Structure 1
């Protein structure tokens, strides 16, 4: 009868913990002092961890919780994977990026940003706010829909062009005011950016605008986010159908 070899186990060393904490902190867009505040530890503790120095287990538990991990993430005994398992784990770790592309974003603050958004093929809006913000998110979506319709009219894409005295800048200001109210009422930030997406049916790339509403309660550094991920391919026919359905 064959004898099973005992599994090799290990715990993360200080260097591995340092790399993990710095990587997760970067993903969150946090500086060291933000992580320290979220974890309830001193800035010196975060600095020591990221320099690969020892800190108390209680401090590591707090840091793990602040980073959204189990509190024993840096302390538990692990089974060392085989090279094949390690490679598979690496692929799985980044599987969420498959078919997606990074998009540069910034808080929506200016008429120039708004006009850039409205010049794209479609707007994609996503929110992580709680249900109590649904009404305000719906209002913002309606303002974007109206602004898109008016811009299409101004360009002669839909119906006759509006009169010359139509005060479009007042509309842009109303949209930005709605953004400001939502951010203030729900401790949020509205991020926007544009990117070139590949049509699902093939053809030339089309420009897409993304609007991401992010809670600063969930992520205090949400307003400093500079990159989000979006689908590399989009169904342009469905987007057109959704747009005209929204006009009914």
Structure 2
């Protein structure tokens, strides 16, 4: 049995189905989707339809990303600001113009069912973004941090201290390993997963000029889609 983590998708169904095929998903695989299914490319409704069906056929755990929370608010009819539209929301808005009420309701129910984090029996943490409380996820005061925080990834990149040093950041010593998405590795010049100080980031820039990534956490083997923008040649994604 493999435990597979799947990075940010951002409305790119073509890339998602491609990378799932390349990873050769087996019936006993356990798939942990790290969130951000919505916003960016034009197929957010289709991605949500796919995941709703897929979790009925495979062993899946689906986490909440910040764009999933934003999409949920949009589907509820809450006023959305210009910033959301500039960061992928416009494609979602357009995609839902002709989606039925029944289908919207199914998507709302799906987005509401997403989990904020998963901690497994080996003390490995899976979360879209991070957490801010020095004592860990059980003590987090603001659940939005699980899908909005960027400081955990910045901390993991920046510290050069040894884990045995008393000044080693406490957040980095609480868990056996942490798997996140949220902040594209393309910001660091690569479309491959990156690891620093026990934190592995598998958001490989699917919303921009990068790819969707699936990683086997026990072997660190990974599979990737083609660069997503090549699968949507008439769209911008979040490349605004």
Q: TM-score normalised to the size of structure 1? A: 0.24
Q: TM-score normalised to the size of structure 2? A: 0.25
**Which is greater in Rg?**
1
